[in-house]
Amino acid sequence: MTSQRFRLKLFLAHLWAMVSATAAAATPTVDFARDIAPIFEQHCIRCHQTVGKKGDLSLATVADLAANEYVVPGEPDDSYLLEVVTAATGERPQMPKEGPPLSEDKVALLRTWIAEGAYWPDSVVVREKSKADRSWWSLRPLDRSELPAAGIPADWAANPIDRFNYARLASANLRPNRPADRRALIRRVTYDLTGLPPTPEEIDAFVRDESPNAYETLVDRLLASPRYGEQWGRHWLDVVRFGESSGFEVNHVIDNAWPYRDYIIQSLNDDKPFDRLVIEHLAGDAVGAGDPAVEVGLTFLVCGPLDIVGNQDAVQAAQIRADTIDEIIRATGEAFLGLTVGCARCHDHKFDPISQQDYYQLYATFAGVYHADRIVATDDQKREQAKNLAPLELQKAKLVEERAAREKARENGKPPEELDPQIAEVDKRIAKLSTLPSLRVGRFEQPAEPQCVFERGDAQRKGEQVVPASLSTLAEVSMTYELPTDAPEQARRLALARWIVAADNPLTPRVLANRLWQHHFGTGIVGTPSDFGYMGEKPSHPELLDWLAARLLAEGWRLKPLHKLIVTSQTYRQSSAYRADAALADSDSRLLWRFPPRRLAAEEVRDTFLQIAGVLDGGRGGPGFRLYQYSRDNVATYTPLESFGPETYRRSVYHQNARASRVDVLSDFDAPDCAYSTSRRIRTTTPSQALALMNHSFTLGMATSFAERLKKEAGVDNSSAQIERAFQLGFGRAPDADEGQAASKLLEQHGLRAFCRALLNSSELIYLN
C-alpha cells in the first residue's frame, strides 16, 4: 500500500484537475455538497480537519483532498479512502474509529462519487458541526403562546407568572405552599430589593397594615428607594466583571472607574431602559459624545483585567493585545447574549453555532478599543473651561513675575513672601476649574488594517479577512448587518449594540429576564445565566421565560415593572416551608412549590452588620472605600485591614474591589474576584467564614456598636428589653422564652457584647425564608 500511495502521489498532482474535470463533464449522479459532504461531516471531520486533526489527513477542503493521496478520481478500487471505510466480512472497518461504521448506502455513494471523478467544488468546506445548531431553543424567536388556563385556581390566575408556575407544578403533580406570613414576606422582599433588613418599625407597620394593597404599597416604596439601585447594581457589576485594579502581575489600583458603579446604580434607580444601557455600554461615545453621564457606560469595555507589564517581545506583545480584545469579546457575549463566544477563538464553537468567523467579526468590532483614561467633556465645556482659565493664568503669571522682581530687589523693596497667599489663592481657583472629569472609559482608534481570522487563535497566523458584522448564530431570526472593511471604529460598536437590542433578537431579552428571575428566586429559569447554549442548562419553565422576555420588551426594556410583577406574584409570596413529599419530586424547589430559602450574599451580610449595629453610613456614590492597605512599587500589594474606622462603614457596593486581593468577610462569603464575569455566585459554607465572624476585629467592633445601640434604645440596665430589641433588629421577631432565658444567662455572665457577637454569628441573621 505504501508504495502504491507513493506512486499515486507522484502523478496525482498532475492529473487531479484534468481527471476531475473530465469525469465531471459526464452528468454526475452524485452531488458532493448534497451527498458526500454530510458523510464527511458526520463521520470524519471531527478528527480529520485542519485544526486539531488526528493523523495527517484533513477532509475539510478540496485542497486537503488533493494534498493527500486517499482518493484517485475515477478509480474507486485504487482509492485508499474507500478501503478504510469498508472491511472484510465480519470485521470492523478501520474507519471511522469512533461511532458506527458507514452504512452500505453511504459507501456506495462514496464509490460512485469517486467513479464519477470525485468532483468537489472549491466553495464547499466541510466543517465540524456544533452540537447545537440554529434551531437550539434559545436561538428561536420568542414563543408568544397563550397563557395556561385550565385548572388554575382563582388566586393563581390573576398574575400570568402564577399561571405558568401553577401549570408547571401541576404537570409534576405538585401544588404550591400557602402564602408566607407577613414578617417573613417583608424581610424577604426588603432584602431582595434593597439588600438590607427591614427595621422593626417597618415590620410592625406592615404587619398592622390592614389595607388591601398593603403589600403593593410596600413594594412600590422599596422599588422607589435609592437602595434598590445599590442592591441590583451589585448584581450587574458581577456580570460585567467590574474590578478596580488592573489585574495580572502589576495589578495597580484604578481610582477613576467608580463613576461607572454610580452610573449603574443611578440608571437602575431611574429605570433606564436596558436597550439604552446596552448602547451606552458599547457605544456611549456615539450617542452621548462629551457627556460624562452617558460615555461613562463605556467603562464596561475596559473594566476587565489588563496585562500592562510592557513586553518588549513583539510576538508576546501581539498575543497580549489579542488576549485583551478576547476579554472584551467574552464579556460582551456572556453579559448580553448569554453566549460563550470566546470558545470560538481558536476553532468553530464545538457546542453552539458560533463560527470562528463570527468571533473575528466581533474582534474587528473591538479592534480599536484601548484601555485608557480620557477626559469626557463637551466642546462647549472645553471652550468654557479655556475661557475661564485664561484670565486666572494671566493673573498668576503676573504675580509670579512680580514676586521674582521683588526677590531680586530684596534689600530695599517689599517682601516677596507677601504675594504667596495671593498665588496660592489663584492656584486653588485654577485647580477647581481644571477638574474636567478624566474617566476610565477607554480610547478608540481606527484600526489600521483589515481584520483577519487568527488561525488557532495565534495572532501570528493570519487567515481569511473578516469585516465587522452580526453573528451568524441568529441570522435566521434577527436582523443582520455587515459593515465595510474600513468602517469607522465607532460605527462598528454602535452597529453591534443595535443588533444586540434589535426587536427580533430573542437572546438579549431572554438572558435579561432570566437574570431578574435568578436574583428574585436564587436560581434562574436557566440555571447557567450567561450560557444559553448547549453546555448550559435548559430552562425549567421555557414558556414562562419567553413570556417574561416578551413582557420586558412590551415594557420598553424597563426593569421595575417586571420586578413588581414578579414580587407581587403568589409564586414569590408563598411560604418557604419544607414539605417532604414535594421535596421527593423536586428537591431543589426548582419548580417553586415553595419559595427557596437563601443565605445572604457577602455584601448583604456585611451591610446587615453595619445596619443593625446602627453605624451604617448611608452616603451614596463617589470614590470607594478600601478594606485593605494598598502599597505599590512596580507591583501592587493589598493587605487586608485589621482595624476599621467609620470611613469603611458605607455599603459594600461602594468598596473599591481590587483583583487578586482578599478582604475579610466579603471574600469569605463568596464575593467574586472579578477576574471574569460572575453570572451566579457560588454559595459556600466554610470554616474560614466562622473564623472571620468569630475572630476578626470587624465583627467584634460591630458587636460593640450593636451593644451600645441596645443600651441607648432599650435602656442601660434593662436586659430583657435589650434582648427583645436585639431579636427585633436582627431577626425581625421577638425572642422565644427559651431564647430569652439563654440570652439573659450569657448577658449576665459576659455582658451585652458577648450576646451581640453571638447574634452576629447566628444562622437566622443571614438566612432568608
Query: By C-alpha distance, which of 617, 363, 606, 590 is closest to 471?
Result: 363
Q: 514, 524 in Cβ contact below 8 A?
A: yes
- Please identify, among the stretches 164-172, 219-227, 605-613, 687-695, the one whose residues bind other proteins according to the rule CB under 8 A: 687-695
The CB-of-733 to other proteins minimum distance in angstroms stands at: 12
Q: Which is nearer to other proteins, 495 or 766 (CB)?
A: 766
Least Å distance, CB 265 to other proteins, is: 25
CB under 8 Å to 489, separation ≥6 — which residues? 367, 368, 444, 445, 446, 447
CA distance 400 to 378: 32
User: Closest approach of Cβ 502 to other proteins, in Å?
Assistant: 23
Neighbouring CB atoms inside 10 A of 754's CB total 13
Altogether, the residues listed in the chain come to a count of: 769
Which residues in the 350-389 window bind other proteins by CB under 8 A? 351
Q: How far is the CB of 332 from other proteins (least distance, A)?
A: 14
Does residue 150 bind other proteins (CB under 8 A)? no
Beta pairing class for 443-444 and 451-454: unpaired
Judged by CB under 8 A, which of 231, 245, 251, 508 binds other proteins? 251
Residue type, 502: A
> Letter for the amino acid at 737?
A
* Separation between Cα atoms, residue 536 and residue 532, nearest integer Å: 5
Q: How many other CB atoms are there within 10 angstroms of residue 384's CB atom?
A: 14
Q: Applying CB under 8 A, which of residues 67, 399, 452, 758 lies at the interface with other proteins?
A: 758
86: left (phi over 0), alpha (psi -120 to 50) or beta: beta
**Residue 661 makes contact with other proteins by CB under 8 A:** yes
- 463: enclosing H helix or E strand: strand 462-466
Indicate whether 739 belongs to the interface with other proteins (CB under 8 A): yes
Closest approach of other proteins to the CB of residue 240, in Å: 14
Is 531 among the residues that bind other proteins (CB under 8 A)? yes
Q: Is residue 686 a contact partner of residue 668, using CB atoms and an 8 Å limit?
A: yes
Stretch that binds other proteins, among 134-142, 398-406, 507-515, 627-635 (CB under 8 A): 627-635
Start-to-end CA distance of the chain, whole Å, equals 73
* Residue with smaller CB distance to other proteins, 75 or 739: 739
Dist. CA 342–CA 349, nearest whole Å: 9
Q: Rule CB under 8 A: say whether 536 interacts with other proteins.
A: yes
Interatomic CA distance for residues 103 and 138, integer angstroms: 34
- Asked if 750 is part of the footprint of other proteins (rule: CB under 8 A), the reply reads yes
**Nearer of residues 385 and 704 to other proteins, judged by Cβ:** 704
> To the nearest whole angstrom, how small is the minimum distance from the Cβ of residue 321 to other proteins?
13
Tell me the C-alpha distance between 474 and 671, whole Å. Answer: 34
Amino acid identity, residue 570? Q
Residues in 700-719 at the binding interface with other proteins, rule: CB under 8 A: 700
- Give the position of cell 464545538: 350
Contacts with other proteins: how many residues (CB under 8 A)?
A: 87
Q: How far is the CB of 595 from other proteins (least distance, A)?
A: 12
**Distance set, CA 17 to CA 8, 111, 119 (Å):** 14, 19, 9
Q: Which one of the spans 5-13, 269-277, 394-402, 738-746 is the region binding other proteins (CB under 8 A)?
A: 738-746
- The pattern of x and - marking residues 542 through 581 that bind other proteins according to CB under 8 A reads ------------------------------------x-x-
d(CA 664, CA 688): 9
Contact status: 686 vs other proteins (CB under 8 A): yes
As measured in angstroms, the least distance from the Cβ of 130 to other proteins is 12
Closest contact distance (angstroms) between CB of 697 and other proteins is: 6
Rule CB under 8 A: is residue 460 a binding residue for other proteins?
no
Residues between 336 and 355 with contacts to other proteins, criterion CB under 8 A:
340, 342-343, 351
Residue 689 contacts other proteins per CB under 8 A: yes
130: cell is 456544533
Cβ neighbours, 10 Å, residue 190: 26
Q: Which of 115, 453, 601, 743 binds other proteins (CB under 8 A)?
A: 743
List 18, 394, 554, 690, residue binding other proteins (CB under 8 A): 690
Q: Does 659 sit near other proteins (CB under 8 A)?
A: yes
> Which residues does 455 contact at the CB level (< 8 Å), separation at least 6?
51, 461, 462, 463
Residues 445, 695, 712, 715: which binds other proteins (CB under 8 A)?
695
Contact between 314 and other proteins by CB under 8 A: the answer reads: yes
Nearest to 372 by CA among 301, 297, 287, 286: 301
SS (H, E, C) 716-757: CCCHHHHHHHHHHHHHCCCCCHHHHHHHHHHHHHHHHHHHHH
Kindly indicate which of the ranges 1-9, 486-494, 503-511, 673-681 contains the residues binding other proteins, using the contact rule CB under 8 A. 673-681
Interface positions, 583-602, toward other proteins (CB under 8 A):
583-584, 587-588, 597, 599
C-beta of 72 vs 729, nearer to other proteins: 729
CA distance 463 to 457: 10
The C-alpha atoms of residue 10 and residue 223 are separated, in whole angstroms, by 77
DSSP conformational letter for 650: B
Residue keyed to cell 496525482: 12
**Is residue 173 near other proteins by the rule CB under 8 A?**
no
- Interface with other proteins by CB under 8 A: which range of 382-390, 471-479, 538-546, 656-664? 656-664
Output 272 or 515, the one with its CB closest to other proteins: 515
Under the criterion CB under 8 A, does residue 250 sit at the interface with other proteins? Answer: yes
Q: Does 446 bind other proteins (CB under 8 A)?
A: no
Please, what is the minimum distance in Å from the beta carbon of residue 248 to other proteins?
5
Question: Which of 3, 312, 412, 435 contacts other proteins by CB under 8 A?
Answer: 312
How far, in whole angstroms, is CA 428 from its chain's centroid?
42
Shortest distance, position 260 Cβ to other proteins, whole Å: 21
Between CA 360 and CA 468 the distance in angstroms is 8
CB of 396 vs other proteins, minimal distance in Å: 38
Kindly state the smallest distance separating residue 163's Cβ from other proteins, in Å. Answer: 26
Considering only CA atoms, which of 97, 9, 114, 15 is closest in space to residue 48? 97
